[in-house]
Amino acid sequence: MSAGPAPGPGPRAAARPGHSRRALLAGSVGNFIEWYEFGVYGYFATVVAARFFTPEGGGEAEGLVKTYASFALAFFFRPVGAALFGRLGDRIGRRPVLILVIVLMTGATTLIGALPTYDAVGALAPWLLTLLRVVQGLSAGGEFGGAVSVMTESAPPGRRGLYGAWQSFTVALGLLGGAGAAALLATVLSEGQLAEWGWRVPFLLTLPLGLGALWLRLRLDETPSFRAERERPAARPPGRGTARAIVLGAARIMGWSAAGYTFLVVLPSYLQSSLDATFRQALVATVLANLGFALAILPAGLLSDRVGRRPVMLAGACLVVVLALPLLDLLQDPGAATAAKGAAVFAAGAVVGLMAGPGPAMLAEMFPTNVRYTGLGLSYALSNAVFSGCAGLIVTETVERTGNVDVPAYYAAATCAVSALALLGGGGRRDREEPSCG
């Protein structure tokens, strides 16, 4: 089967304005919860390491590496979830699968906030945490493909880049929400209270958020493109063309995945462990980076509706290659002004936003309706499993072994260079919006 777009489903597949808005909201809210939790886990990595992965006599670095190993494990289960839930979503519909994944994600995240620590149950604690991380990884793998399919298949004509960008925008809001919750707790609680019980609060807050998301998805209609596809004769199963598109899609967004997690999630622990920043200073830097990320996403998605997806994403990837090392050198300079350092982390987030804005729509346009949930979900999950999930582990372990504090910049620049090459390679696909997303 060709990985190119299927013929447009025609006028009866056009989304109603009310449906478009509901689809945008229902798709966005799950992404917010997913990335809120992943952000919280990254921001509290040093606390989680001490409570779950560092028995008496264990070193701080050892505990942090184990914490990021658990972080990476959840990402490696994302492709499994993308394949499992994606196939279901392409067969029975986007709506029922998105309902299922929000229930799983909310339950697993809430339970993390209630887990006993190593002091209470010994070696069972890290195993229970890891099990819940696996469930989170599976559900997160099914979230992206469904949410982006719903958003792009329901978008009004000429607005698929903007609608798809809302997926990335709610990622930024989720990371900012996690950072804000962590910063608030770090401000109102003592370090002892934060380590003892305060870290649990952000995870427990997922329960009311998840119930709200579930209510929205229960009210969601199936997408026009999927309804039209279901009325067509049975399509052939995915072939080598789809597999090639998955690999190309993963390569195109690997820089977004790696640079995004390096600058937006790993940064707090890196600043603390390598540059001796305080927990509060690291969180402020992370909030600024995520703010730059958030502010760039929607304009980038809107711009991609006018000039194409790949030119905008290519600009972001090339900027990371050029600016990663100078930005990190500025953060390491003890004589640099605080305002300059703040501007540096803000800029780092903004250039990642140039890739994240058009990225979801670009992936959606690489696959026809009958394999879209699976195809774009797997592209995203594979890229995130390797280049996001391993970012903390790779950066922490490499800095620990080599003593080279420039490792995060090299990692982000190298992956973005590969993405730039993949974006330059066309595979014959138009990178502007087709008449429909069918």
How would you classify residue 10: left for phi > 0, otherwise alpha for psi between -120 and 50, otherwise beta? left
Give the Cα separation of 191 and 198 in Å (integer).
Answer: 9
102 touches 211 (CB < 8 A) = no
| Per-residue pLDDT at 363 exceeds 80 | yes
Question: Does residue 391 sit within a domain?
Answer: yes
Tell me if residue 277 falls in helix, strand or coil: coil
Cα torsion 87, 92, 93, 99 to 10°: value is -90
Model pLDDT for residues 338-350, shown as the tens digit of each residue:
788 889 889 999 9
| Per-residue pLDDT at 89 exceeds 90 | yes
| Per-residue pLDDT at 118 exceeds 80 | yes
Supply 141's token pair.
Answer: 């793998």
Question: Does residue 437 sit within a domain?
Answer: no
386 touches 236 (CB < 8 A) = no
Model pLDDT for residues 45-84, shown as the tens digit of each residue:
777 777 887 655 455 565 666 666 666 677 788 899 999 9
Question: Does residue 69 sit within a domain?
Answer: yes
Give the Cα separation of 147 and 170 in Å (integer).
Answer: 11
Question: Does residue 225 sit within a domain?
Answer: yes
Supply 399's token pair.
Answer: 């800095």
Question: Does residue 115 sit within a domain?
Answer: yes
| Per-residue pLDDT at 280 exceeds 80 | no
Residue 42: give its domain's CATH number. 1.20.1250.20
> What angle (nearest 5°) sits at the alpha carbon of residue 154, between those of residues 153 and 157?
90
Question: Does residue 430 sit within a domain?
Answer: no
351 touches 320 (CB < 8 A) = yes
Q: How many of the other CB atoms lie within 10 Å of CB of 56?
A: 6
Q: Which of 11-15, 233-237, 297-301, 352-356 has the lowest mean pLDDT?
A: 11-15
Give the Cα separation of 367 and 374 in Å (integer).
Answer: 9
Question: Does residue 397 sit within a domain?
Answer: yes
Model pLDDT for residues 292-324, shown as the tens digit of each residue:
999 999 999 999 999 999 999 999 999 999 999
H helices within 52-123, ranges in order? 60-76, 78-92, 94-112, 118-121
Structural domain containing residue 55: 15-424
Model pLDDT for residues 218-240, shown as the tens digit of each residue:
998 888 889 888 887 665 566 66
358 touches 304 (CB < 8 A) = yes
Question: Does residue 60 sit within a domain?
Answer: yes
Q: How many domains does the chain fold into?
A: 1
